Each structure stands twice: as C-alpha cells, then as structure tokens.
Chain A
Amino acid sequence: MLFLGIPAPLWIAALIGLGVLVARATSRFSAEPRRAGSSWIGEHPLSLGLALFGLAVALASIGISATMARIVVRILGTAIGLTGLGVRVGVALRRPARPKAEGHAEQARAQALAHADAWSPLRTLGVAARLAFGDVAHGLLPLLVATALMSVPAAFAAVRLRALLVQAPLPPDVVAPPFDPMPFLALAGTALWLRLFELFGHAGGLAVALKLVRKVRPGWRDVFSGARFVLPFLGFELVAALASLFGLVALVVPIVIIRVGWWLALPLMIDRNLGIFEAIEESWRMTRGSRLKLFALGGVLLLAQLAVLGVGLALAPLSKWLLVVPELLTLVIGPIALVAVAHAYEALRKTPRMSESGDAALTVGYAAVGFVYGGAFLMLVRIANALPVTRGSHVVMRHEILRAAALLTGVVFLLFVLGALLPMLLDGLERAGFSRFVGARHVRSSKSGFLTVISLLAILGVSMSSCALGSVISIMGGFGADLKRKILANNAHVVVDSPAPNGFAEWEPVLERVRKVPGVVAATPMITGEVMAAVDNNTSGVLLRGIDVDTIGEVIDLPANIEPGLGKLEWLRDPELVANLPWSERRGVETDDDLFHAVDDLPPPPKKQRASPFGDQHEPTDPLIEKLGRALPPPSLDRPVYPCVVIGRELAKTLHLRIGSEVSLVSRMGELSPAGVVPRERKFRVAAIFFSGMYEYDATHAYVTMDAARDFLDQPDRINAIQVKVSDVENADRFRPLIANAVGREELRTRDWREINKNLFSALKLERIATFIVLSLAIIVASFSILCTLLLMVTEKGAEIAILKALGASDNAILRVFMVEGMIIGGIGTIFGVATGYAVCYGLSWFGVRIDPDVYYIDRLPISVNGWDFAAVTLAALVICAISTLYPARAASKLLPVEGLRYE
C-alpha cells in the first residue's frame, strides 16, 4: 500500500523511529539525571496501553463511512499507537545497565520505598470510593448534597431540552412551524445562572472531600461553605476556557495538558485560599511529573460521565421520568470524583519535588502535537496536489488557502521534528570531550541556558535573519532564473552578425556551414531593422525582424508564444487570408480600453446600447459583441491585402491592434518622392500576437517574412544575423569557437547569449552579492544578542570558571567551553532559520505565490530553491556566530581563578 508514493511499512518504521526519538527526548530539555523511579511511563503498562488504544482507534475507523473523518481518525489512532509503542521501546532501550554492586542495595531499597508511596490512579479511585461511601452520615450525605447541587444546571437543562426537542408527531397536513431559537437561548441563559449553584456545590464538595481524605470528620457547614469561592471558581473557568481557545491552535492536545495541569487549582483555592492565578501557577508546579497519571485518573472519570450522558441520551426519548436514572448514576459517581481529586491533591502535596524534574506528559504531548501536524500536513499535501492549477489573474481563494495551510502545517511539523532532535544533539555533545560536555550542559541549565528569554531572543534573532536571507536570495535567484529562461526562449543561443550596419551578404554558404557544426541544433537567418509602427496618432518604436517562417521555430519559441486564439505564425505567408478573416478571428488583447477605440473598419460604438436590431448575421463567438451589447455589421469583403506582421502583446495594447488590423510601419530609409526624401511607409496587417513574458520583447519585436523585410528595408541580398541554437545551452560558449570557425569570415562576429546579455547578468549577479552582504548585516546584528547572552553566562559563571581552572582546565579549554555554548545557540538559530526558509521556499516554489500579472508581468513569484544558496547562508551565519563568541569566550578564559574564588 502506497501513501504519497512511499510504501506503508516505511511509513510505519519512520513513525516508530519518531516515537523512539520522542522517548529519548524524555531526557527533557533540562538534562535531569536519570533516576530509575522516574521512568514511570516506561515501566508502567500505560505506554503499552496507549499503543493498544491507538491501534483500537485506528481499527475502529474502518466503521466510519465519511472519508475525511475516517482518514483523520485513522491517522490519529496510528499516531497515538505508534507514540506509545515508540516510547515503550525507546525507554527500554535507554535504560542504563547499572551493575548491582553492594553499595547500591541501599539505593534500590530507597527506590522501592518511594515506589510504594507513589499514588496511582486506580488505587486513588479505590480509596476514594471507600472514603466516600464509608461514612454515611458525615461523608456520603454531605457529598451527595454537594453533587446534587452540582448537577442542578445539567438536570434542569436535560429536562427542558427534552421538552423542547421531543414533540408529538404533527398531523400530515400541518406545516411544521419554523425553527425558533428563543427557547433554546432562554434555556442557555438560565443554565448559566444555575452554574452558580454548580460552583457552590463544587466548592462545598471539595471542602468535604479534603477533610475526608485528611481523616478529619467533615461537618454540614463544610458543604455550604463554598459561597465565597463561587466567583473565584467562575473566574477560573473563564481563564481556563480562554486558554483552551488558544490551545485549539495546536489541535486539542495542549488543551488537555492545560486542563490536567490546572486540575488542582480548585482544591488549592479552597485549601490555601489562593487567588485564581496563584492557584493556577501552584497547580502547574504541583502536577509536574504526575500529569500522565492525572490524565489517566481524569480520563476514567470523564469516561464515566460520558457513559452517564450516553445513558441519558438513550433513555430520554422514552419517558421524561427515566431521566432520573442518569441523575442517580451521577449521584454515585460525583462523590467518588470529588474525593479522588482531593486524594490526588493530598498525595501530590505531601511529596514535594526536590528539584526541577522533567515531565513525561509534556514530552508525550509535544510528540502528539507534532504527529497531528504531520498527519495534517500529509493530508493537505495530498489534497493540494489534486487541485487544478490556474494561470493569469484567475485566483480561487479557497485553493490558495488550502495550499497555504499545507505549507504552514509542513513548516510547523518540520520545526517540531527539529525540536525533538535538539535534546539528542545536546546529549551527543555531552558525551564528547570536556569542553563540549561542559558547554552543552551550561546551555541546558534553566537559569541561564538556552531556554531563558534572553537566549531564546538570540536564537529567534539569528533564525529570523538567516531565514530572511535565504528566502530573499531564493527569490532573487528565481527572478534571475525566470529572466534567463525568457531570454533563452526568445533569443538564439549563439548569434553570428556583423558589427557594421547594413548586415552582410553571401550568407547562404555561411548558414549551410554553421548548420553542419556538431552541436548545432538549428540555424536561421534574420534581417533586422529599426522602424516605427503607427496607427492613427499612436506611434511606437519597433525592432522589425524578417524571419524564415519555416526554421524560426527551431531556434526560438516564437510559434509556441503565439497566444492561443490570436492568430498563427503561418499566416505571415498568407496575407489574403488575414485580410478576410471573419469577426470571430479578429480578436485583440482584451482590455476594456481596447474595445472602444477605433479599430479599422468598425464604426465608432454608440454609448451603452442594449437592443440589437441586427441580430442574425454572422453570429458572434466574439466576446467583443457581448461586451458591446450589439451585433456588428458583417465584415466588409475586399479589404485591401497587405503583407502581414506578428507583433507582441504590449505593442498590440499600446496601438490597440487586433488580428487583421492595419498598422503602418515607417522606415528611416528614405524614398525619393516629388516632395523630396520622405520616410518609407508601408501598411501591414497583424497576423498574430505573441506573448514572450518579457516586456521588452512584447513591446518592440515585430516579425515579418524575409521577403517583406527585404522589400521594406531595401536589403535584397543582405541579412543582419544568423541565429543559432545549440544542444547545450549552459555551455554555449564552448560551441562559439566552433561556429566562428565554420563561419570563416573575419568581418563577422560570433557571440553567445551570455556575452550578448553580459551587462544584464553581471548586474543581476552584483545585485545578489550586494543583497547577501546587506542581509548578512542582519545576521551580524542578531549575533550581537548571542554575544550578550554569552557575556551574561560568563559573568554568572565566574566562580565556576575559577573552579574549573583550579581543577586544571587550561585557558584554552575554558575558551572552547564558551565557544561551544555560543555555537550551540547560534547553531540552533541558524538551523531552525535555514530549515524554515528552505521549507517555505520549497513549498512556495511548488504551490506558487500569486501576484498580479498586469503589474509584474508574471502571475507567480518565481522562487528558485538552490541548496547551495542555503548552504552559503548557513555557513555565513555560523561563521558570524563563531566570531561573536570570541570576545566573551576570551574574557572567560582570562579570568583569574583567585578572582573567582574570592568570597563575597
């Protein structure tokens, strides 16, 4: 089975590998020493449970009929399952093999004791049930009252909702009344008021539960003691709801983590009288390291409540009295839930955490979010690939948004993966020699390491500037590549011409010889001259090119550039045909302006007429007619036959020319006339309009047949150039001497396209280099913040440096330590920035950023993603960061040990 062209087993292996990475990343960002007791997730069957759960979800998705939902559920299930599996495998791999020596017996004993005291969700539930139902008078009854209060709004809503929704069937000929939202809104409003009851009950219930857990007999006053907590609880609910909204951005998982982490805030507010935000902070702190267990506990309780809801939904339509059943069930579950929370709170309160331990829950959450983004990315890419591609100014917003979403999720997923690799990198560095070990460890420290605001800002600065540099260089490269492509499409690779005016004669043998040169694909002769094109009072300078219609297409892309529906190149040879084209062929470049200007034998249009007296002859496939709103008179026959010309789009726009229109060409070659020498003027007809993509060509090039050019420019036996196409365009300069040899005439010069456009390409190159340098300044500025971060670290660690020197570290070793620190920070910023830039540019070059073709002459931003460019950016950034680390590192290495050891 293939997915995005890659076989499924490979995907599975990749996902498991990612899971293992995640498990390794349970060494967390602040490298904590690995204690045997802290790998709860690995030793506990929960990880295996996660794996099975995910598998079950993925399998269950078979039952879903909606394709999209099925895919989503399947991806989620697979992701969860593989995360669990990977974590299990990874932790198992990671467990260090410690020799069981005698000195460790004590340690093992201590760990075992610690394990016994550690609370587990299942045990908590058992204890909670026992406590809740154990003491009926002083335990159960108060809890029941509290639970009843808590369930008031839900019960009320259930009854009212049922009444609103379950209606008696209407008689068949009565129209159902339109949907009236008012009762529902009223219900919602009342339910909100009733929430106050719920919060009151909740507070009272928690107070009772806390006392029960502490083996203190609760009294009836405790149940009703919750009045003063109602508003704070409400405030907390609001804060939690807002936070959940933000968490939606990362698709649910952070909401879960937040909810679990803040679960103890309510008991804290009651027990220690904390304010809302203090309680949140304290709950977050208290739950560190136990969040997965709390999630398990909460999950069980939530499942129970969902089950009750399910029962209610099933029974409600039958009879309104059956709603009592879910209420009774709630009264059973409620007390247990209250006491369970209180028990968890007590357990966590009594085991103060000695140091900053890592958090397996956060790691798993991180991985889960990463997987979700990855899955979303894959899905969106698949969809985006299937979307049709539109050109010109026709943009379908929905498609563009889908493509942008695909790009965004891809970039976020990439960042997640890079972030997961970070601890591994630091671990690797720590295993290396002294300098790298100490440097990497310093970077991980929570007080002044890379997770502090200062170094995060430094990293952000470096990554933003390197991302910008890479992207700009790519865009400039794209423009340059686009330019080159257009030049090469519309010009020959090698041109043989004469520096003298008036061209050269005896060109046929030269042409033959050139055609025989190995590597030459095609050669065609050309007559050129500068003339003026005039229509009424509009004039425009034009480069007239007399071409051999048969062979011109082999050298340049003229035939391909003829806009569809706007004539044909072959018509150059058929002036009669062009003179008698039907209206349907006489199209122009469609802008509104064009339509209302005088076009040869068309009478000036009346203003905004609608009715059509002539409706029948020569019926229009002509959009002109639709726009004008009336039919056109039949084209007059016997229009004079003029030689034909093929012009560019811009010229057609400027002179308002359409296929078949007349245009006068004026040459500076004088003609003798009774009035003296006057400029030679000939009328031509437009046979076709081309679009090359280069404004200059579209505005100035005009093609006629060789004969017409000879006649008009008075050059019967001379041509101006031989245009040659070679097989290897990039190395056209290699063919130049061969062709020059074949030409064999001293007075002619042979130039390749690079030489002809030398100025343009040198200017482009210079521009790129200048931009690179200027944007490197941005990186230099960003590196200043690395310098400052390092200086901060050096200042803080004066005593440490002294100790290290006392232990025998040389000045150089200290220098290397701080250089390593600076390079890690700079390296993180560089890698993140360059990777983001590369991913974004790659994605954009694939999907395309639409720009206004009327303004920019192209409909998409041209981006050329070149690995070498990004490598250059990476190198530049790393070098700049390395230089910025020199000063602080040197300062550190010069510290005298005695100074660091002085007592404050």
Chain B
Amino acid sequence: MPRLVEVRALEKTFQHMGKELQVLRGIDLDLDDGEIVAVVGQSGAGKSTFLHIIGTLDLPTSGTVKIAGQDVTKLSSAGLADLRNHNVGFVFQFHHLLPEFDALENVIMPGLIAGKSRRELEARGRKLLDEVGLAPRATHRPGELSGGEQQRVALARALLLQPKLILADEPTGNLDSATSASIHDLFFDINRRHGTTVVIVTHNVELARSMPRVVTLKDGRVHADEWRASTPKAASVEPGLGPVEP
C-alpha cells in the first residue's frame, strides 16, 4: 500500500544575488495515513521550504515527491492545484484568512474552488466551525476575530474537503501560550477524529515533545526522526528506527 507521502532525495536550491543557496540537501521521508508529526529545526534549516514542497506549493530542484502515489513533479499546474484542493489543507502563521469574507465564507472557500454547491458547503462549514468552537462567529470578518480564533477558522477551512494531509507552518507562532495550547489540542483532536495526517512545523518545544513523531531538520537534511512511546500512535519504542509495519 503506497504511503501517503513519499519523499526521496529531495533537494531544493534557490538563487540569491547570483549565488546558489541550497536549502534542502537531500531528504528522504515517509508519511503514513493518520500520522501526526512535528518538524523542528533551527531557523533557516529549510522547514518551511520542505513543507511548501510537500504541499505542492513549490517544486523541488531534484528528487521525487509522491503524494498518494502521484508524482507531483509530473503534474501540470492545474493538476497540482486540483491535488492541493482535494488532498491538502494548509494552516499558515500569517495572512491566512481572506479579509473581505466572513468566517463561514472563508471556511467554504476550498469547496467553492472545487465547484461544489453553496448549500451543502454552508452546512458542512457550519459544522466544522462548531467543531472548532466558533459557531456563533460565523458571520464575523477576520478583522473582528482574535488571532487564536483566526487560526481555528483556518483549521476548519483546511478540513472542509476532508483532505488526507494537513500542513501547518508555525500555526501558533503569534499566539500566547494558553491559546496555543488550545490550538494544539485541536490538532490532536482532528487527527484522532478524522484520521487526517498532520504535519506541524514548530519552534514550540512543548508541542514537539507531545507529538508522537518528531523530525528534526538540520542544514537541509533530516537530522533525526524520533517516535515517542507515550502516545497511542507510537509504533516503536526506540528512537532512530523506522516504524513497525502494521
């Protein structure tokens, strides 16, 4: 059975003022359905770049990335867009919501892009907002929501089309610890309830420690890939070894 995400020899190089900057220097990684993973590392280690590439927002310079068995480098731009629409949900640190639309409209946006009917989308959107605890704020604009509430809306939006994969790039970087904790809980909740694979790039040590799997990037390579025993999803006890096949 193909893994959800398969990354082999991923390299990414940027051009900066005539010089080449190699951010990712060969990454091999696999992600399964239902996993929840933290990606940590120093600033500049390539975490966001890695996330963008997995999410098909960017293409690798070399190497392969397969999502649900499809090689993303072989897809057209429209094909990638379609893949993203149905299979990937994003939660960013800034600029996540569309300011001219209210919370409900933001949540149903992926569905509108996919061309689904307003009615069923609105029903589903309300349900999702309820799940993240924002049902009474459906008609509020992002400007009227706090940072934590905005992130929750973003999360609800990411879930709209039931993607297999949710990618979060420092989702709580701007928030205080109490709000961050509730957002983290939400991620876990979603992972448990919907079985969605969640990848969170984070600086937050607490969060990283609570995750069953932590991937550490350093200098554009996977420095460490650890599973923890304390969470139900833990499949192996020792760090450094791959997961035991179910």
Contact = CB atoms under 8 A, between A and B. Distances in A.
Contact of A354 (B55, B88, B144): B144
B113 A107 contact: no
Nearest to B87: A808
B223 to A, nearest CB: 24
A29 to B, nearest CB: 13
Contacts of B115: 433-434
A808 B113 contact: yes
A897 B113 contact: no
Given A807-B113, A903-B94, A35 B139 contact: yes
Interface string A804-842: 111111111100000000000000000000000000000
Interface centre among B55, B126, B135, by most chain A C-beta atoms within 10 angstroms, is B135
A34 B139 contact: yes
A431 B118 contact: yes
A800 interface: yes
A897 B57 contact: yes
Contacts of B85: 807-809
B84 interface: yes
A186 interface: no
A811 B157 CA distance: 21
B67 to A, nearest CB: 13
Interface in B70-94: 77-78, 81-86, 88, 90, 92-94
A103 B85 CA distance: 29
Nearest to A431: B118
A793 to B, nearest CB: 11
A803 B96 contact: yes
A286 to B, nearest CB: 19
Interface string A344-371: 0000000000110000000000000000
A379 B22 CA distance: 78
B112 A437 contact: yes
A897 B140 CA distance: 26
Given A33-B102, A33-B141, A901 B130 contact: no
B136 interface: yes
B166 to A, nearest CB: 12
B57 A810 contact: no
Contacts of A211: none
A651 B145 CA distance: 85
B135 A810 contact: no
B143 interface: yes
B117 to A, nearest CB: 10
B60 interface: no
B77 A901 contact: no
Nearest to B55: A806
A413 B145 CA distance: 41
Interface string B41-84: 00000000000100101100000000000000000011001111
A799 B90 CA distance: 14
Nearest to A807: B110
A892 to B, nearest CB: 14
A165 interface: no
A437 B104 CA distance: 14
B16 interface: no
A811 B112 CA distance: 15
A103 B57 contact: no
Interface stretch (A265-273, A317-325, A438-446, A503-511): A438-446
Nearest to A36: B139
Interface centre among A106, A110, A805, by most chain B C-beta atoms within 10 angstroms, is A805
B95 A803 contact: yes
A898 interface: yes
A392 B97 CA distance: 69
B109 interface: yes
Given A104-B136, A110-B136, A803-B95, A808 B114 contact: yes
Given A34-B139, A355-B144, A806 B84 contact: yes
A800 B101 CA distance: 11
Contacts of B110: 807-808
Contact of B136 (A103, A355, A898, A900): A103
Contacts of B176: none
A808 B86 contact: yes
Given A799-B95, A806-B90, A808-B113, A33 B81 contact: no
Contacts of B102: 33
Given A445-B100, A799-B95, A810-B77, A898 B58 contact: yes
A441 B140 CA distance: 15
A901 B81 contact: no
B31 interface: no
A293 to B, nearest CB: 23
Nearest to A107: B136
Nearest to B134: A103
Contacts of B82: 808, 810
Contacts of B130: 103
A355 B143 CA distance: 8
Nearest to A814: B81
Interface string B120-154: 00000010001000011001110110000000000
B229 interface: no
Contact of B57 (A434, A800, A901): A901
Nearest to B140: A33
Contacts of B109: 434, 804, 807
Contacts of B88: 808
A442 B96 CA distance: 17
Contacts of A33: 102, 139-141
Interface in A767-820: 799-800, 802-813
Contacts of A898: 52, 57-58
A811 B76 CA distance: 11
B100 A107 contact: no
Nearest to A809: B113
A746 B136 CA distance: 94
B81 A808 contact: yes
A901 B95 contact: yes
A355 B77 contact: no
A107 B95 contact: no
A441 B112 CA distance: 14
A446 to B, nearest CB: 9
Contact of A803 (B55, B98, B100): B98
B162 to A, nearest CB: 13
Contacts of A35: 139
A270 B97 CA distance: 42
A431 B105 CA distance: 12
Given A103-B135, A434-B113, A806-B57, A812 B95 contact: no
A139 B217 CA distance: 74
A811 B81 CA distance: 8
Contacts of A442: 100
B150 to A, nearest CB: 12
Interface in A464-517: none
A667 to B, nearest CB: 85
A805 B115 CA distance: 15
A442 B105 CA distance: 13
Contacts of B99: 445, 800
Contacts of B77: 810-811
Given A104-B135, A800-B98, A807-B85, A813 B113 contact: yes
Contact of B135 (A107, A354, A437): A107
Interface string A104-128: 1011001000000000000000000
20 contacts: A33-B140, A33-B141, A35-B139, A104-B136, A434-B112, A434-B115, A437-B112, A800-B95, A803-B92, A803-B96, A804-B98, A807-B90, A807-B110, A808-B85, A808-B110, A810-B77, A810-B78, A811-B81, A898-B52, A898-B57
Given A433-B115, A813-B113, 8 more contacts: A103-B126, A431-B118, A434-B109, A445-B99, A803-B92, A810-B77, A810-B78, A901-B92
* Shortest 10 CB-CB contacts between residues of A and residues of B: A808-B85, A103-B135, A33-B139, A107-B136, A810-B81, A799-B95, A808-B84, A434-B112, A897-B57, A810-B78
Interface of B: 52, 55, 57-58, 77-78, 81-86, 88, 90, 92-102, 109-110, 112-115, 118, 126, 130, 135-136, 139-141, 143-144, 157
